[in-house]
Structure 1
Amino acid sequence: MKPARLRPRTAAALGGALLLALTAAPAADAVLHPSPRTPAATTPVALNGRLEVCGTKLCNAHGKAVQLRGMSTHGTQWYAQCLTSGSLDALAKDWKADVLRVSTYVQEGGYETDPQRFTDLADSLIRQATDRGMYVIVDWHMLSPGDPHTNLADARRFFTEIAKRNHGRNNILYEIANEPSGVSWSRIKSYAEQVIPVIRAVDPDAPVLVGTRAWSSFGVSEGADESEVVADPVDAPNIMYTFHFYADSHRDEYLATLSRAADRLPVFVTEFGTQNYAGEGGNDFAMSQRYLDLMADKKIGWVNWNYSDDHRTGAVFNTGTCANDGPWTGTSSLKPAGVWIRDRIRTPDDFPTG
């Protein structure tokens, strides 16, 4: 049977005060992946420096291929209260994450309602993750409508401002379109070739991550595959293409597409879950592990959805954790998916490829 097709997640309607601690914290212990006693000087960014696409891999400042592992925020219009000094300390030190994906929704009460506020919020999270030695994926979380051109003017504005504020940093990756849908690859490529120069005019060296057709499935969810991107890549250097999967819905066809694509293109999995396409329902840890094994083997970076206490099973914290300000470390506040993904970020060597 053909796997379930990707569909946009229904936004959480949970409220909550938009609280964000601005207090800087000490740099995190190293990830990639030293012992808990490793000095703060060996954080992921301190160890690896500025990243650059080399061939089909993401490489560090020493030319060595690296695989980043980390977490994505949920929409900051709903869950900024989950992103405190304590929770970010836990992500860097207890989870030993390499990367934080900062998701700024465009619609659904996000950026378009107050551009200045959401730009400031994203910038604050970038700075806090930077203080902890993590890499940051700046995610322009367009979802519905699925044509990225709909938000082109706002995307230019957002990325110009974020790049101006952060162009001196060596830990930023720009994800310019979360999950395009209902449009051709040529349409997505056209958007990318208009947004990338805006970023490069200010920050010429940072990698840029380009969303792919059909909710970043390389077109599988709309009956296509990676061959259209291979045949007609974006005309820009130092870019990667994104792939998203939810293991309980997206099975062998999607896994095979990711494997083939990564042999021909630079790929970063900027979002995945162990549940169904909506980030809810039961966890399929066995299928998820197959994806993780493949990504480890091919050094494909990944980010799990999501670092919040949303009621869905894909949010790592139990509901109410953020309102209670933790506890953030250990596993007592984590749902089963949170326990599973924390283990695989902290100790990847304990889960080797098959």
Structure 2
Amino acid sequence: MRAPHPSLRRAVAAAVLSGVLLLLLGLVPTGSAHATVTPRAAATPVAANGQLKVCGTKLCNSRGNPVQLRGMSTHGTQWYPHCLTSGSLNALANDWKADVLRVSTYVQEDGYETDPRHFTELANSLVQQATDRGMYVIVDWHMLTPGDPHANLSRARQFFTDIAHRNKDRNNILYEIANEPSGVSWSRIKSYAEQIIPTIRAIDSDAPVLVGTRAWSSFGVSEGADESEVVNNPVRASNIMYTFHFYASSHRDEYLATLSRAAGRLPVFVTEFGTQNYAGEGADDFAMSQRYLDLMADKKISWVNWNFSDDHRSGAVFKTGTCDRSGPWTGTAPLKPAGVWIRERIRTQDDFPTA
């Protein structure tokens, strides 16, 4: 076995120190320190593709080639931080071969508003851990209720200011500024985006920004609209994408057709989907889910599945109790049927998207 390269030794030493400091501060769960990072054998997604940018309707790598990222979203970090350990993240990067981790920081529901410093540092820790493993990372401002993003405008300004200052020099971060707006007009969401995006751009000018769409990020379909309102009145900013969410058992052909049309006119990133109903529970509809995945592969739409936890619902990939037992994390034994299915579809891609 070769001795490790000096730069690798320095990186590991820095990771150990960072992990120890975070543990002493009580900002990350035990077991998620960086000291046990397992690097990929081959080039990582970030090493292969570098800084991402939006080119036309596609997400492109540093060479201007379209890429499709595939990965997983955390559940709310206020509830399931113990599912995000060095072992589980090693499995996501190396066993699942995921390109991207979405870090879901809930605003309400015992989330960010209760302890901004803690949840900001927890998000930063997970960004670091994704970086250590060569994955891209989406920082998700998981506003849900209330559905008007303006209700959390000042909190969002502070959160993204803090996150961007810490991570502005990274080439693997994307900012998702509003998870699922609902009960508000597209113009209201657009107004919010045009206030938050400059806050980020003043600090981090390179990272793509992901903008939620009306009616739980359905391009308005769930409230009787469609993508035309965004096509005809886009956000006044560059290097942005619009998000679309679906749950295959509930969201059928009308939603699939909307995604197909929208992706022909707009840059779209599916930052959340499930194979179950809209609550992430109930029976899996793998046939409908595969129709979505086939469309997204054809149009190179990046996607993230919900969710990387052991919640009791069928949409959580791990069997209940896995996180409390700290694994095992690899293979299919600890997975529910949805986990087995989605892991296979992440693993079947190349080690990194270079098309």
2:23 aligned with 1:22, yes or no? no
Structure 2 partner of 1:6: none
2:329 aligned with 1:328, yes or no? yes
What is the number of residues matched between the two proteins? 323
Code of the residue aligned with 2:309 in structure 1: it is S
Structure 1 partner of 2:304: 303
Matches within 5 A, 1:266-345: 266-345=267-346
**Partners of 2:311 and 2:202 in 1: how far apart?**
37
Q: Percent identity?
A: 80
- Write the deviation string for residues 225-264 of structure 1: whole angstroms up to 9, x where unpaired: 0000000000000000000000000000000000000000
**Partners of 1:260 and 1:24 in 2: how far apart?**
45
**Partners of 1:327 and 1:166 in 2: how far apart?**
31
Structure 1 partner of 2:61: 60
**Partners of 2:295 and 2:267 in 1: how far apart?**
14
TM (norm. structure 2) is 0.90
Residue 342 and residue 175 in structure 1: after superposition, are their counterparts in 2 closer, same or farther (change >3 A)? same
2:217 aligned with 1:216, yes or no? yes
**Partners of 1:19 and 1:168 in 2: how far apart?**
26
**Partners of 1:257 and 1:343 in 2: how far apart?**
26
C-alpha contact (below 8 Å) 2:28/2:125 kept by paired residues: no
2:125 aligned with 1:124, yes or no? yes
**Partners of 1:111 and 1:170 in 2: how far apart?**
25
The 3-state SS of whatever aligns with 1:77 is coil
State the shift of 1:25 in Å: 4.2
2:150 aligned with 1:149, yes or no? yes
C-alpha contact (below 8 Å) 2:74/2:101 kept by paired residues: yes
- Write the deviation string for residues 246-297 of structure 1: whole angstroms up to 9, x where unpaired: 0000000000000000000000000000000000000000000000000000
Structure 1 partner of 2:235: 234
C-alpha contact (below 8 Å) 1:180/1:213 kept by paired residues: yes
2:45 aligned with 1:44, yes or no? yes
Runs (4+) of structure 1 exceeding 3 A deviation are 24-28
Code of the residue aligned with 2:194 in structure 1: it is E
State the shift of 1:23 in Å: 2.1
C-alpha contact (below 8 Å) 1:25/1:131 kept by paired residues: no
- Write the deviation string for residues 283-330 of structure 1: whole angstroms up to 9, x where unpaired: 000000000000000000000000000000000000000000000000
State the shift of 1:27 in Å: 5.8
**Partners of 1:207 and 1:256 in 2: how far apart?**
25
Structure 1 partner of 2:15: none
State the shift of 1:26 in Å: 4.1
C-alpha contact (below 8 Å) 1:24/1:131 kept by paired residues: no
**Partners of 2:269 and 2:349 in 1: how far apart?**
17
State the shift of 1:18 in Å: 7.1
Structure 1 partner of 2:14: none
The 3-state SS of whatever aligns with 2:79 is helix
State the shift of 1:19 in Å: 1.9
The 3-state SS of whatever aligns with 2:54 is strand
Residue 235 and residue 24 in structure 1: after superposition, are their counterparts in 2 closer, same or farther (change >3 A)? farther
**Partners of 1:129 and 1:328 in 2: how far apart?**
16
Code of the residue aligned with 2:33 in structure 1: it is L
**Partners of 2:39 and 2:273 in 1: how far apart?**
24
C-alpha contact (below 8 Å) 2:28/2:122 kept by paired residues: no
Code of the residue aligned with 1:88 in structure 2: it is L
State the shift of 1:214 in Å: 0.1
Structure 1 partner of 2:175: 174
C-alpha contact (below 8 Å) 1:173/1:206 kept by paired residues: yes
